[in-house]
Amino acid sequence: MASTRRRPPRRRVWPKIRLLLLVCVVAAGATALYPVWKAANPDPPELKVRYRTDTPATAAAAKPSFEVFNDTKKALPLSDVTLRYYFTADGTPGPSSYAFNCVNAAFGCSHVAGRVVAMDKATDTADHYLEVRFTAGAGSLKSGANSKGIDLQLFRTDHKRLKQSDDRSFDAEMTSYKEAKKVTAYKRGVLAWGEEPDGTKASDEKKASAKAAALPAPPAGVLFDDFTYQGPKDPALFKHGWLVRTSEGGPGIENTWSADGVTFPTAKGALADGQVLNLRASTDGTESGTKQASLGTKNREFRNGTYAARIHFSDDPAKGEGGDHVNQTFYTIGGSGKTYSELDNEYMPNGGWGRLGPKLDTVSWYDHKSNDRVYKTTNKSLDGWHTMMITVEDDVVTYRMDGEKLFSSDGKYAPRSGMSVNFNHWFIDLPFKGDRTWDMKVDWLYYNANEPLSAKQVQSAVDGFTDEGMNYFDTVRESR
């Protein structure tokens, strides 16, 4: 029987090759079309920013208010978030200087920091931006949570009105919160929301970046303020715990306390944005023509620790004839009766109460009614800037100027209650007729309830705060 040869099975090579070619073609097409598909179907944003304002195009200040939404399934630390509000600086021949403050935030303005930055490449609607950051103390947003309103003010330090019509992030029609793509937000330095002036979007494959820098929570038991305000009616001034005195009474020429003398101009020698608190005492030599100025904390919560302020004392009037018995004062006061407490730095360039000037009285009080006090007089001119300090520890009060010890008191002359912190500028008397005005400037106030500090330690702390854009915080009130 003849044998039958088996044919080898036909190898199905071509169908496999055709399938492979088809897969390659599809993959190549998908790769080519991915950018188009990605542009039409971007990843959902990790966060959203909504914006509103209540100002017209021309206003004393821009008033942007923001809400940050966490659209992820994880908690979002606000310290990871940076916001940028874009605007065009006004002013001729060059752009004016700008400053900002925080009026209100659910987690507290003590945890909001900001700085105004000039852009490297200007556009028709933006050459600067306000960059807003949050400290670790601002907390975290839970999944789906909203920060609630973060109310800010942006203004010129010369206090002239703003023109906002050419500001990229401004929209007068957004009087209620709406999503704002012209306000950008960054998460850990990476663009996460909005569109930058150059057209870069958060959904772009090549992410735009901002410098990511952690902002620590402000230290506990500390008040710092560099007086970045618009004027005596600035809502942030009251929100931050300050009161402009307009009440009746003394010292000085009674019932002449006026808000008109409380302003916040720029001044040579000032730190940060150059703004200062200016207290102007003015008179024509009559009681009716006299105005005195005072600013103080509305709460009396300060006792032990370190008080420091950088103050510009004046030996000469800003206008008019010199020689007035003016008193330029940095002091604390509180309690009554057996708890009465008062600590004074009183500079009198022309003396007062029958004693010649220039002189500085450092005074610790026990009882005001019986004039029970101890003091030391430093007889020299203090015209110019000085860092004035008071430390209170273990019932010992020490006064220093520019790091040099001036005077100490103890025992019953130590504070027995919480006190307010105040700056006054007033006339002891009115020796002659004629118009004149006197100015006293304050660059910043620093209080630390925790410990006595040296002048170098205070200055180092102040420099650190201003470098981070922390122009105000008060963790003394937060801790109570």
For β-strands 47-52 and 126-134, DSSP reports them as unpaired
Instruction: Report the Cα 57 to chain-centroid distance in Å.
Output: 24
pLDDT score at 251? 97
- Return the SS3 of 34: helix
pLDDT score at 435? 98
Structural domains in the chain, sorted by start? 47-193 (2.60.40.710), 222-478 (2.60.120.200)
Q: Give me the residue label for tokens 């004839």.
A: 321
CB 154 within 8 A of CB 61: yes
Residue 242 is which amino acid? W
CB 311 within 8 A of CB 386: yes
- Residues 6 or more apart whose Cβ sits within 8 Å of residue 9: none
Residue 2 is which amino acid? A
CB 323 within 8 A of CB 350: yes
Q: Give me the residue label for tokens 């915080």.
A: 473
Q: Distance between CA atoms of 383 and 392, rounded to whole angstroms?
A: 26
Instruction: Print pLDDT tens along the chain (480 aa).
Output: 444 555 555 555 666 666 666 656 555 555 555 455 444 445 568 999 999 999 999 999 999 999 999 999 999 999 999 999 999 999 877 788 999 999 999 999 999 999 999 999 999 999 999 999 999 999 999 999 999 999 999 999 999 999 999 999 999 999 999 999 999 999 999 999 999 999 999 888 666 776 667 898 999 999 999 999 999 999 999 999 999 999 999 999 999 999 999 999 999 998 865 899 999 999 999 999 999 999 999 999 999 999 999 999 999 999 999 999 999 999 999 999 999 999 999 999 999 999 999 999 999 999 999 999 999 999 999 999 999 999 999 999 999 999 999 999 999 999 999 999 999 999 999 999 999 999 999 999 999 999 999 999 999 999 999 999 999 999 998 765
Other C-beta atoms within 10 Å of 54: how many?
12
Q: Give me the residue label for tokens 């710092």.
A: 224
What is the token pair recorded at 463? Answer: 């420099």
What CA–CA distances, in Å, run from 157 to 276, 347, 453? 10, 28, 32
pLDDT score at 41? 46
Q: Distance between CA atoms of 328 and 223, rounded to whole angstroms?
A: 22
Residue 147 is which amino acid? S
Q: Distance between CA atoms of 156 and 95, rounded to whole angstroms?
A: 10
CB 191 within 8 A of CB 202: yes
pLDDT score at 31? 57
Report the alpha-carbon angle 278-446-84, nearest 5.
Answer: 80
φ, ψ for residue 4 (rounded to 5)?
-105, 125
CB 356 within 8 A of CB 380: no
